[in-house]
Amino acid sequence: MIDLTILAAFGIILTIGVVGSNILKKIHVPEILGFLLVGVILNIFLVIVNHDVIITDFLDLVVAVTLGFIGFNLGSELDWKAIRSMSLKILVILLCEALLTFFLVTIVVYIFLGFTQLQIALLFGALASATAPAGTAAIFWEHDAKGPLTTTTMFILALDDVVAILLTDVALGYSKSVYENLSLDLFGFFFPVLIDVAFSFILGMAAGLISVYFLNREEDHTKLVDFIIGAVLVSIGIASFLEISYILPTMVFGIVISSLSKKPVIDFRLKQLIGEVSEHISPQLQRILYEKRREDLKDEPHQIFHEVYRLASPLIATFFILIGLSLDLSAISQIGVIGIVYMATRTVSKATGASIGAYLTKAEATVQKYLGPCLLSQAGVALGLAVIVSEHLAEYGATAAQSGLFILNTITSSTIIFQILGPIAIKWAINRSGEARVNFNDSKT
């Protein structure tokens, strides 16, 4: 029998999170950061139910479903034409910021480790390249940001964590060769990641093409939203069964239907309203309303995507509250010199690499100036990879296990700090670039 007290606790936590986030929003705290801070506060004072029960029983499910919807929404912001036109530019920027971060963090940490334990330095470098697609994208959506900076960041978010996963696998492979005195096998390092990407692409394409067939033949707005949500959940379930990424297949899914589904020329609700009042307004006014709304929509993604995001927003809020609840706050005191060096080097290298890549590709001035701050946040992917690293190193004895715990505590501590500073930096960047279209005046502080 389901423990309904846990369900009630979730309802209470979500309600407190929404109220707390709205209060913090009045002092210009980004909504996602507000949810995270509420989670941290509840982490300290929670007395509703057993804190560990909530995390153990529900966090994996919430993370899986949320990352799936985040991937879908990321994909829905893109289409094949944009991908073809920006592929080379994005690839150069991605490689510059991700690889520069990997190499600089590795080198600096290696120096501070006394030129020993290169395998640990490589793992720090790999984890440093990961970003937080959920939090970053949510802030863009919260402020209805549009423009070259937003588009470039969305592409980078979609690919950055793929690079982080690849680099972490390579670093783990090197660590295994060190602890077990094995020869390096690069094919063995890369093969699992290639399989993940291949299966994700196939799953996303299949789900997208099936959905497009339905979307292009159905006009009922509600049925379309229900169908998309169901298809996303099925994709997440299949990805879980195949033990592949939740984000990649749903992102491909979003790209496919964004590229191939018919776009509405007028909003469904407004079209319905005009039909109801058509007897009371002149044809000229009808045409004005029609053209105005068509102008507003011509650069917008499919309206269905916005509906899906709105319906998934309580789950996304719960996701960030649970991140705050699950963080080991005691790890902050253990961050030490390596942690400070890691955060400082990651910040500088992300910003520098992004600017260099944007300059080399002659990207827009706003991208060259403000892309770096949009890539600072770290959250679920970095923490998940850190847990994997800790578990793998624990297999090689007490010394390696201690190193794995040290990496996990450092990444946990830095995540807390990056999740506080990152959203603030993102909000500042999209406001200075002029791409924030919601609450712009309130965000200039």
Q: Answer whether residue 356 shows pLDDT above 90.
A: yes
Cβ contact 235:253 at 8 Å: yes
Q: Is residue 277 part of a domain?
A: no
What is the pLDDT of the chain when averaged over all its residues? 76
Q: Is residue 13 part of a domain?
A: no
Q: Is residue 301 part of a domain?
A: no
Task: Tokens for 3, please give them.
Answer: 């423990």
Name, of 6-10, 76-80, 382-386, 389-393, the range with top average pLDDT.
389-393
pLDDT of residue 413: 79
pLDDT of residue 107: 95
pLDDT of residue 317: 79
Range of the domain at 353: 52-263+336-406+424-443
Q: Answer whether residue 338 shows pLDDT above 90.
A: no
pLDDT of residue 144: 77
pLDDT of residue 256: 87
28 pLDDT band, cuts 50/70/90, is low
Compare 209 and 38 and report the one with higher pLDDT. Answer: 209
Q: Is residue 341 part of a domain?
A: yes
Sign of the CA dihedral running 118, 122, 128, 134? negative
Q: Is residue 229 part of a domain?
A: yes
pLDDT of residue 297: 42
Sequential DSSP letters for 318-377: HHHHHHHHHS-GGGGGG-HHHHHHHHHHHHHHHHHHHHHHHHHTT--HHHHHHTGGGG--
Q: Is residue 45 part of a domain?
A: no
Mean pLDDT of 350-356: 92
Name, of 333-342, 357-366, 379-388, the range with top average pLDDT.
357-366
pLDDT of residue 52: 54
Q: Answer whether residue 272 shows pLDDT above 70.
A: no
Sequential DSSP letters for 242-256: HT--SHHHHHHHHHH
pLDDT of residue 127: 92
Residue pLDDT, tens place only, 105-122: 999 999 988 888 888 999
Q: Answer whether residue 443 shows pLDDT above 50.
A: no
Q: Answer whether residue 207 shows pLDDT above 50.
A: yes
pLDDT of residue 5: 64
Name, of 179-183, 184-188, 348-352, 441-445, the range with top average pLDDT.
348-352
Q: Is residue 393 part of a domain?
A: yes
Residue pLDDT, tens place only, 62-73: 777 887 887 787
Mean pLDDT of 136-159: 80
192 pLDDT band, cuts 50/70/90, is low
**CB neighbour burial string for 162-182, b if at least 16 within 10 angstroms, e if fewer:** bbbbbbbbbbbbbbbbbbeee
- Give which of 231, 190, 226, 239 is closest to 210, Cα–Cα: 231
- Give which of 409, 419, 347 is closest to 377, Cα–Cα: 419
Burial of 383 (0-12, 13-18, 19+ CB in 10 A): buried
Q: Is residue 398 part of a domain?
A: yes
Q: 261: which DSSP letter?
A: S
- Give which of 45, 48, 78, 41 is closest to 259, Cα–Cα: 78
Residue pLDDT, tens place only, 276-292: 555 555 666 656 555 55
Q: Answer whether residue 102 shows pLDDT above 90.
A: yes
**CATH number (domain holding residue 134):** 1.20.1530
445 pLDDT band, cuts 50/70/90, is very low
Q: 280: which DSSP letter?
A: G
Please state the domain count of the chain.
Answer: 1
125 pLDDT band, cuts 50/70/90, is very high
Cβ contact 73:141 at 8 Å: yes
Residue pLDDT, tens place only, 212-222: 888 777 767 67
- Among the ranges given (41-50, 83-92, 362-371), the one the predictor scored with the smallest mean pLDDT: 41-50
Mean pLDDT of 361-372: 88
